Chains A and B, each alone.
Chain A
Amino acid sequence: MNEAGDAGRRLRVPWFVTFLGLRLLWALVTLLIFLTAAFFFMQVWVPYSWATQFTQSGPAALAAVREAVGLDRPLPEQYADFMLGLARGDLGTSFAGGSVGDVILEALPITLTVFIGGTVIGWVVGEMLGRVGTWGGSRVSGSVLSVLGVLSAAIFPPFLVYLLVRWLRDPLLDLRELIGLPRDSLDLWRGAVTGEAGALTPGDVRWLIALGLVAALGLGMVARSYGRRQQLGWVEALALPGTLLGFGVGIGLSGLGPHALDLLYRADISASTGRGSPGLALVGIVLISFGQVMLVMRAGMQAERSEDYVLTARAKGLTERAVRDRHVARNVMAPVLAGSFLTFPTVLAGMIIVEYELEMDGLSSVLFDAIEFQDIPVIMGVIVVLGLMGVGFRLLTDLTIASLDPRQRQGRA
């Protein structure tokens, strides 16, 4: 235990304050190293820059372009500029002229909705399948779960997207009709398209959905773990569906229901129906992210099965369910959470592919377009934002692990 921790104990500061303080310090150092590594990766390793497009115009033109976008300055100077800009919250200027921050801010709500929603739901599904399916399940159901888990981790995302669009397109279109949405999304957004003043734009509703969904999921997860802690089965079971339903009802009451539903599953007359729909992307991301969590959870549950405390708990006369959920699952959870941070990058890459293939106009589209146009500031911007999301995710998992296991509350990495 270091000094800050000791002082914290004397002052009776709650553990999570010192814990969070130390973890934030850790996050800051890690972010500094990450940003430095990312910067030099882009500048040194990546073989192209905006200027290489002008190679054929001759060395003079090339030099002029390099000078115009500031690529001719010494590397340390560019690095200092980049870091100082970030400290001010400025992601720089795209080579195409616009502000990188604006481009990313426009794409962010979609990505937040899809990534955070997909990760949380995928995690909950994987954890539940691993917990319930392993305990007392038959050999056959166990094998089926294992195969599904491996498939989920190994499937080729573009093919998954193709299948989703192919199989879910018509049922979802019928569903749209059933709930009274127009056959063409454009009908709902005519005001925004014709530039009517004060008209509702998809961007506004996207932000509303993103923030609302994140808040609902966060609240739901907290209520869920509270229910588990207090052994209130119904709170645990209803927490997530309840908050999500509440979120839906809230949107419905605000009168934005049709718009929000339309954004979840876009439809237009062109053949690309179903593309650009966060609803489909969510399904895809849940499918590619639940497997890894489930497999690790399964292995953990199987390993704990023969522990002595399980025998004790059974001898006490606890129900199998109580043994499984309150004793074994809680022991397995911490390493699963810690492991899920390490598999996060792989899942993240899958999410990016899914989002891109569904033409969601989220961060992935920004990233791939920027790669195509060799627009380094934009690529850097996306990497930085994803890194920030990763740090946030890490802090959240650390906090959850610490709340599960008091031994982890020292706050050191």
Chain B
Amino acid sequence: MTAVGEAALAPVKFPRRARRLAMLNAKVIAGVGILVIFALLTFAQPLLEATIWAGRGNVYDPQFGFDTTISHPSAPSLDHWLGTSSLGRDVFSMFAHAARPTFLVALTAGLAIGGVSLLLGSIAAFRKGWADGFISHLSDAMVLLPAMLTVFVLGIGRSNEEFGALQVGLSFGVLYGLGPATATVRAAAMTIMVRPFMEAARVAGGGGPWIVTRHVLPHLYPHAAVQAMIGATGAVIADAFLSFRSAVGEDFGFGQMVYDGITWSSLMAGIAPPPWWIMLAGAGGITLLAAAFYLLGVGLREALDPRLSGDRVDGGIVTAADGPGHFR
């Protein structure tokens, strides 16, 4: 056992070095970049409507817009940067607006996954005994009940008001959090409980809640964050599929755009070329946003793996026990 110094007793924040690496990882940068672009787009569209497209009425409204001067669907042009949909809406406006509910889905799913997995994972590791037995069996069992499937069971055929972004994100997050996320975070927590600084914290007279919040949880945040991001990827795709499946024409999610394009091209098969711009905008939006969260998750996981950084012997914060075994 290593010497129990003051350094070991100090509360461990999100390891500084890991944070620095996370910033440098190309995957993380790409993920953040995509998210920033989408965030800017959602703000840019109303701005454009108020300035460049001012005086054209509600032609650029993502829901009720209709350009009476051309026939629809129309290919990308100077007036409509990404073309128009079969209902005559401006695809660029739809694209910019569809990112909002998707962000909400990812956010609620990520928070739910983080919350559930941190709570259960730390309880299992700290309480051990039957609590751990129950939690690990529960998470093993919930892995078998795929979150996406259950969200389909809950959401297909129900309107947006009844089962919208918030509900999708929350139910996906809770189910994914109980399953794979808890399994991963629990495994990480188990390896933390046997490390010397835990002994030190106990010797120092720390009570349960204090040890958990100051010494266990900070080590688990990165693991929970990785799970939250990878879970958010699934939630985005699940939400898009719900929007694709229960498309009724009034809403304008990414999935609905793909549906619009596919339906139109099968209706007009042999008569008109498929409106690739609608499909590509919808599928591109889903894939880019899902990829952003996935990149964040994978990049974070790689950034936190000391063996991938090249300079792992630097005498300090990241020790062998922080190794990659816990990140898988």
Contact = CB atoms under 8 A, between A and B. Distances in A.
Interface of A: 26, 29-31, 33-34, 37-38, 41-42, 45-47, 146, 150-151, 153-159, 162, 166, 271, 295-296, 299-300, 302-304, 306-307, 335-336, 338-339, 341-346, 348-350, 352-353, 367-368, 371-372, 379, 383, 386-387, 390-391, 394, 413
Contacts of B230: 343, 346
Contacts of B238: 349
A46 B154 CA distance: 6
Nearest to A379: B153
Contacts of B290: 153-154, 156
B325 A41 contact: no
A359 to B, nearest CB: 13
A88 B311 CA distance: 59
A372 B146 contact: no
A295 B328 CA distance: 12
B275 interface: no
Given A295-B298, A346-B230, 14 more contacts: A26-B140, A30-B141, A37-B138, A41-B145, A47-B154, A155-B283, A156-B244, A156-B282, A156-B283, A157-B241, A299-B305, A304-B307, A352-B149, A413-B136
30 contacts: A26-B140, A30-B141, A33-B137, A33-B138, A34-B141, A38-B145, A45-B171, A150-B27, A150-B291, A156-B287, A158-B244, A158-B258, A162-B258, A162-B279, A299-B308, A306-B310, A335-B328, A342-B143, A342-B183, A345-B146, A345-B149, A345-B176, A345-B180, A346-B234, A349-B146, A349-B234, A350-B237, A367-B149, A386-B146, A386-B149
B308 A303 contact: yes
Contacts of A346: 146, 148, 230, 233-234
A182 B71 CA distance: 42
Interface string B109-123: 000000000000000
B291 A158 contact: no
Interface residues on B, range: 35 or more
A151 B154 contact: no
B266 interface: yes
Q: Which of B140, B183, B255, B307 lies at the interface centre, i.e. has the most chain A CB atoms within 10 A of its CB?
A: B140
> Chain B contact residues: over half helix, strand or loop, or mixed?
helix
A371 B152 contact: yes
Contacts of A33: 137-138, 140-141
Counting from the closest, the 9 A-B pairs by CB-CB distance are A349-B148, A345-B146, A159-B283, A154-B290, A34-B141, A154-B291, A303-B307, A33-B141, A390-B144
B324 A345 contact: no
Contacts of A371: 152-153, 156-157
A18 B320 CA distance: 32
B140 A413 contact: yes
B179 interface: yes
Interface in B147-163: 147-150, 152-154, 156-158
Q: Which of A42, A158, A386 lies at the interface centre, i.e. has the most chain B CB atoms within 10 A of its CB?
A: A158
Contacts of A345: 143-144, 146-149, 176, 179-180
A335 B325 contact: yes
Contacts of B38: none
Contacts of A162: 258, 262, 279
Given A338-B328, A341-B143, A154 B287 contact: yes
Contact of A150 (B157, B279, B298): B298
Interface string B263-284: 0001001000010000100110
A282 to B, nearest CB: 20
A29 B142 CA distance: 12
Contact of B180 (A29, A45, A271, A342): A342
A33 B144 CA distance: 10
Nearest to A296: B328
Contacts of A335: 324-325, 328
Contact of A303 (B142, B146, B150, B305): B305
Contacts of B90: none
A160 to B, nearest CB: 8
A317 B156 CA distance: 60
A300 B153 contact: no
B240 interface: yes
A277 B108 CA distance: 37
Contacts of A391: 144
B291 A156 contact: no
B154 A45 contact: yes
Interface in B274-304: 274, 279, 282-283, 286-288, 290-291, 294-295, 298, 301-302
Q: Which of B144, B240, B290, B295 lies at the interface centre, i.e. has the most chain A CB atoms within 10 A of its CB?
A: B144
B295 A150 contact: yes
A42 B143 CA distance: 17
A156 B234 CA distance: 10
A299 B237 contact: no
B184 interface: yes
Contacts of B234: 346, 349
A2 B302 CA distance: 36
A31 to B, nearest CB: 8
Given A154-B291, A155-B287, A30 B150 contact: no
A146 B302 contact: no
Contacts of B140: 26, 30, 33, 394, 413
Contacts of B141: 30-31, 33-34, 37
Nearest to A353: B241
Given A335-B328, A390-B144, A41 B150 contact: yes
Contacts of A367: 149, 152
A34 B144 contact: yes
A159 B233 CA distance: 16
A156 B281 CA distance: 12
Q: Which of A150, A296, A300, A371 lies at the interface centre, i.e. has the most chain B CB atoms within 10 A of its CB?
A: A150
Q: Which of A31, A151, A303, A383 lies at the interface centre, i.e. has the most chain B CB atoms within 10 A of its CB?
A: A303
A287 B147 CA distance: 21
Contacts of B157: 371-372
A166 B254 CA distance: 20
Nearest to A303: B307
Given A29-B137, A156-B255, A34 B145 contact: yes
B269 to A, nearest CB: 6
A156 B258 contact: yes
A38 B146 CA distance: 11
